[in-house]
Amino acid sequence: MKPLSACDMNAVLGTAFIGRNVYYLDSVGSTQDSAKSFALSGAAEGTVVIAAQQTAGKGKRGAEWASPPGGLWLSVILYPEGGLNPAVLTLAGAVAAAGAIERAAGLKTSVRWPNDCYVNGRKAAGVIGEKSGRAVIIGIGVNLNVSMDDLPAGLRRTAASISVEKGHQIDENEFLRELLKEFESMYCAASGGDALPVISRLEKMYGIAGRSVCGFSGGRKVEGTVSGFSEDGSIIIRLDSGLQVSFASGEFTLEKEKIS
Ligand code: BTN
């Protein structure tokens, strides 16, 4: 474990508090679990736990998350006030990851609401949010410089590695800076419990209102047009039948390339 000083991190990251304390671990089960322990022992808000690899990385709905060397596997410890919904923070993580992929690697992304980032139709990053006492732990996993051979065979057709898509290695520090700066700015803007700043950022990136989406919720296929988002981060879709429905969970693709 190598905790970096506040000075080191400020120089690298340019954030006010996210990443002020960073723990780099060589190998860990899951940075989510390590972050929960750090939070229990009083870790400051914004503490980031990064692992070079995870042996029991956690994905959404209890799935395993393959975390070989070369990826960016991190968890951020937050103590949100004002009832900020973890789902909104998870969405903020996905928006920040998409922004970092675009700025640090120059690749177009799609956000699959609420928490996945796709590049060239394959998943390049995922985010989970977990509550632990008064802490919310946001876990962000990015296949940054991952070799496809290091991913399980079953994932190679559906997962993307940013460096493979780009054709060269991506600077991890630059990526981290882009990711955490934007995440912090959305977190601060939303800290009163309002999802609007996160949604506005998503809207700015993808111009989603009025666009067609398709996806799944509760095992059912959903097709329609995005009407907007509610304060708790739910997506509101006008179904092709004309009915307007708010979905708190599911997976819907918002593709940037379709709007430009
Ligand atoms: C998903 O299923 O899309 C969410 C994946 C989240 C993976 C990240 S990697 C860092 C953090 N630690 C974990 O064990 N999971 C999250």
Share of the chain above pLDDT 90, in %: 61
CA dihedral 191, 194, 195, 197 (to 10 degrees): -70
Query: Residue 61: CB partners within 8 Å, gap ≥ 6?
Result: none
Q: pLDDT per residue over 177-197, tens digit each?
A: 999 999 999 999 887 767 788
pLDDT at 204: 78
- Protein residue with its CA nearest to atom 9 in ligand 1: 141
Report d(CA 121, CA 62) in Å as an integer: 23
Specify which residues 236 forms β-bridges with. 228, 246
pLDDT at 197: 85
pLDDT category at 3 given cuts 50, 70, 90 is very low
Report d(CA 41, CA 55) in Å as an integer: 23
> How far, in Å, from the CA of 199 to the mean position of ligand 1?
22
Q: pLDDT per residue over 90-131, tens digit each?
A: 989 999 999 999 999 999 998 888 889 999 989 999 999 999
Average pLDDT of span 18-36: 95
Report d(CA 87, CA 18) in Å as an integer: 19
Q: What angle do CA 211, 212, 216 make, to 5 degrees?
A: 130
pLDDT at 255: 61
Q: What pTM, to 2 d.p., does this model score?
A: 0.89
Question: In this structure, what token pair is assigned to residue 245?
Answer: 């429905």
SS3 assignment, position 198? helix
| Residue owning tokens 């919720």 | 217
SS3 assignment, position 199? helix
Question: In this structure, what token pair is assigned to residue 72?
Answer: 């960016």
Mean pLDDT of the chain: 88
Q: pLDDT per residue over 36-56, tens digit each?
A: 999 999 999 999 999 999 999
Using a 6 Å CB cutoff, which residues line ligand 1? 30-32, 54, 57-60, 63, 65, 67, 73-75, 115-116, 126-128, 139-141
Q: Best substitution site from 73, 76, 132 to test ligand 1's pocket, by max atoms within 8 Å of Cβ? A: 73
| Residue owning tokens 């995005």 | 226
